[in-house]
Chains A and B, each alone.
Chain A
Amino acid sequence: MTSHANKFNKAADAIAFDLNHRQTIQFNISKYNLAVEKGRERYYDLSLAKTRAASIKRYMLSNWDTLLCQFEENALKNGMQVLWAKDTQQANEYIRQIVVDNHAQLLVKSKSMTTEEIDLNTVVEKIGCKSVETDLGEFIVQVAGEKPYHIVTPAMHKSKADIAKLFNKEFNTPINSTPEEMTDYVRGVLRKQFTTADIGVTGANFLLADIGGVAVTENEGNALMSTSFPKIHIVISGIEKIIPSMAHLGLFWPLLASHGTGQQITNYNSIFTGPRKKNEVDGPEKMVVILLDNGRSELFSDNDCYEALACIRCGACLNACPVYKTIGGYTYDTTYSGPIGSVITPFFRGFKDYGHLSFASSLCGACAEVCPVKIPLPKLLLQNRKKSVEKDLRPLTETLAMKIFSLASTNRIAYDRVLPLFKNLAFAPFNFILWGPKRKMPTFASKSFSKRYRKDKKNEEKK
């Protein structure tokens, strides 16, 4: 077993029985579920909306290169700069260059998982530019020195008491601060940063091919603040975020909101089409879009999992997943967690280290049911398992146990000769190691099915 898989097992073991963690997550997700239920009612025909979105994203996948080129052409016409990054290293090199060329001291960042993927904070801080997370949830985990716990709700694992304690320690705010007071405190601190920063960084929820635009969805207003004051706006987007037309946002914005948070539409849905225009009074002087591949085009070559590139990162599959709810976001030790994370991470970071994630699923199907773009996640998890086995990446104990089990169980006569008691005893160590001490294996029946069948048949014939 690789050290990653080992770490995963240990962390999962520890957290699955951590009652505090479970309570916090259950509380947060139950609130999310209530909101989503309400959000659904806003639709006249949600299932048709999902079918349309799924179909547009599949259309995008079959015309991916054309759409990307169309986006670039239009974005350039709009006065943006477009940079193609094949991996995180290249993306970081671009950013480093921009920071250095512009003598940037302060960078404000709005929530974006893609910037987590390339670990932007570490890179710019290394060259002496301060990088500040401005989304409240991200700000909290940055202050705590942690990573986002959830792709939509970064501080989901913390209760308000946890956060009040953290703020008290770091900023000397009252220990019994309410969420309102803490939000107001952060607002005050960050307003100064927004208005003095050199660079504002955002992700992209959608790239719009037909107008060369970048659509960003947010609730707090930090992305708008980050792009209204600093003189440079950098967008970091995965290449799969592209959709054919701006008109499709009428479908995707409400869909993202209803699945991400249960809102009818997210508070701020913005479309950026470039730096400040000649006739405009403010806005950045420069807008740079970094198109990040980092394994995506390789995932595209996979005959099964390419569909995962239709994902709009709404987070619904995480909230629906019983495994996520039990082991939590950190145990995955990846940028993208939950079912979608388990499918795509092995392609981004290797099956050797991350193949085990696809085995951490009960294949209950809840994720596929909630997915707004109809990605068949359980099927893809199964395909990943197959790949891990074919690549000989499963732990030796499991491979051996499976071999022995298949030898023994496929040989009917040999199998029946062994008394049930011995069968139970013989499998006990395997059960303990593989199944885990906290789960119970069914015991072998006192009479095997084939014995009973033959006996019953004889009795039948006698009648």
Chain B
Amino acid sequence: MINAGSKQEILSRIKNAKRQEIPLELELPDLSSAIYKDIIPDALACFKTELESVAGNCILCHSENQLADVLREVLIDYKGEKIFCKDTEIAQFLDKNNIPFSTQTADFNTMQVGITACEFLVARTGSVVVSSHGDSGRQMIIFPPIHFVLAKKNQLVNYVEDALLFLQKKYADGMPSLVSFISGPSRTADIEKTLVLGAHGPKKLYVFIYE
């Protein structure tokens, strides 16, 4: 596939338009003032409110023990082979606490709940930042009908910008091939602008935050 010619052609047309010499009509805008509302009362409460406003669920736990109790309780109706988890650390935690789950490829297609970790949580928008880095990969963040995310309280940041900066710092040697900001369960409003949850991705999203 030859493409050098087209590249030069396109770039030279852009150069010849000489827009570089045209002064910008808009002055450099004020870059210091805030454009988004403050985080109130605190990041944790703000995250919970925002995530719930987009039909997500947020459950706060004070300790790992409490997290285990809560998980056991919400997962009680699901058989072990319907709960899928690829994350080694989480798997150990589930094992330790006698919560059944599967890692068998054969169970992937029929899973009902998928459990993953995450990179960050964004308070202002109620977003969960996930990436292809780590054991879960890409499929586990979009395929499960119900997505459980386990996060520590210190993964919480205020704004989208903050998460982007932290990501760049964390992956200074190169970003994971995919990073996604997820804000609520998958949705569509393509039929008469009626909101329907669970278009192609998870129908439900639970975020468990523990200390």
| Shortest Cβ gap from A206 to chain B (Å) | 12
Distance of A247 Cα from B174 Cα, bound (Å): 15
Instruction: Give the chain B neighbours of A55 by CB distance below 8 A.
Output: 24, 26-29
User: Considering the complex, which residues of chain A in the window 217-240 have a beta carbon less than 8 Å from any beta carbon of chain B?
Assistant: 219-222, 224-225, 227-229, 239
Contact with A along B136-172 (1 / 0, CB 8 A): 1111011100000000000000011100110010000
**A87 to B, closest residue via Cβ:** B6
Q: Is the CB of B201 within 8 A of A271?
A: no
Q: Which of B11, B14, B180, B191 contacts A268 (CB 8 A)?
A: B180
Q: Is the CB of B15 within 8 A of A84?
A: no
Instruction: Give the chain A neighbours of B179 by CB distance below 8 A.
Output: 270-271, 273
Q: Does B106 contact A (CB under 8 A)?
A: no
Contact with B along A52-95 (1 / 0, CB 8 A): 10110011011111001100000000100001111000100110
| Shortest Cβ gap from A225 to chain B (Å) | 5
| Shortest Cβ gap from A187 to chain B (Å) | 6
Distance of A90 Cα from B3 Cα, bound (Å): 9
Contact with B along A393-428 (1 / 0, CB 8 A): 000000000000000000000000000000000000
Q: Is the CB of A44 within 8 A of B34?
A: yes
Instruction: Give the chain A neighbours of B200 by CB distance below 8 A.
Output: 134, 187, 190-191, 194, 220-222, 224-225
Q: Does A325 contact B (CB under 8 A)?
A: no
Instruction: Give the chain A neighbours of B159 by CB distance below 8 A.
Output: 250
Interface size, B (range): 35 or more
Contact with A along B21-41 (1 / 0, CB 8 A): 010111111110111111000
Q: Is the CB of A46 within 8 A of B35?
A: yes
Instruction: Give the chain B neighbours of A224 by CB distance below 8 A.
Output: 138, 141-142, 180, 200-201
Q: Is the CB of B192 within 8 A of A28?
A: yes
Q: Which of B143, B177, B192 contacts A27 (CB 8 A)?
A: B192
Q: Is the CB of B127 within 8 A of A213?
A: no
Binds B, one of A152-160, A336-344, A445-453, A454-462: A152-160
Q: Does B194 contact A (CB under 8 A)?
A: yes
Q: Does A267 contact B (CB under 8 A)?
A: yes
Q: Does A170 contact B (CB under 8 A)?
A: no
Q: Does B1 contact A (CB under 8 A)?
A: yes
Binds B, one of A295-303, A347-355, A381-389: A295-303
**B8 to A, closest residue via Cβ:** A84
| Shortest Cβ gap from A175 to chain B (Å) | 15
User: Considering the complex, which residues of chain A in the window 222-276 have a beta carbon less than 8 Å from any beta carbon of chain B?
Assistant: 222, 224-225, 227-229, 239, 246-247, 249-251, 253-254, 261, 263-276
When A28-B193, A43-B37, A48-B35 are in contact, do A265 and B168 touch as well, CB less than 8 Å? no
Binds A, one of B68-76, B90-98, B182-190: B182-190
Q: Is the CB of B1 within 8 A of A94?
A: yes
Distance of A58 Cα from B19 Cα, bound (Å): 10
Binds B, one of A1-9, A12-20, A177-185, A359-367: A177-185
Q: Which of A46, A51, A249, A251 contacts B26 (CB 8 A)?
A: A51
Interface size, A (range): 35 or more
| Shortest Cβ gap from A58 to chain B (Å) | 5
Of A225, A249, A374, most B-chain CB atoms within 10 Å: A225
**A213 to B, closest residue via Cβ:** B175
Q: Is the CB of A84 within 8 A of B10?
A: yes
**B168 to A, closest residue via Cβ:** A246
Distance of A287 Cα from B138 Cα, bound (Å): 15
When A84-B7, A280-B137, A281-B135 are in contact, do A160 and B192 touch as well, CB less than 8 Å? yes
A sample of 20 cross-chain residue pairs with beta-carbon separation below 8 angstroms, ordered by A number, consists of A27-B192, A28-B193, A48-B33, A51-B29, A58-B26, A59-B24, A62-B24, A84-B10, A86-B9, A90-B6, A160-B191, A187-B198, A221-B201, A224-B180, A228-B142, A247-B165, A250-B161, A273-B176, A276-B177, A300-B13
- Chain B residues proximal to chain A, CB less than 8 Å: 1, 3, 6-7, 9-11, 13-17, 19-20, 22, 24-31, 33-38, 50, 54, 86, 109, 125, 127, 132-133, 135-139, 141-143, 159-161, 164-165, 168, 174-194, 196, 198-202
Known: A86-B6, A153-B193. 12 other contacts (CB 8 A): A44-B35, A51-B26, A78-B177, A86-B10, A136-B199, A155-B191, A163-B191, A179-B191, A190-B200, A224-B201, A267-B183, A270-B178
> Which A-B residue pairs are the 4 nearest by beta carbons?
A221-B201, A250-B161, A220-B199, A137-B190
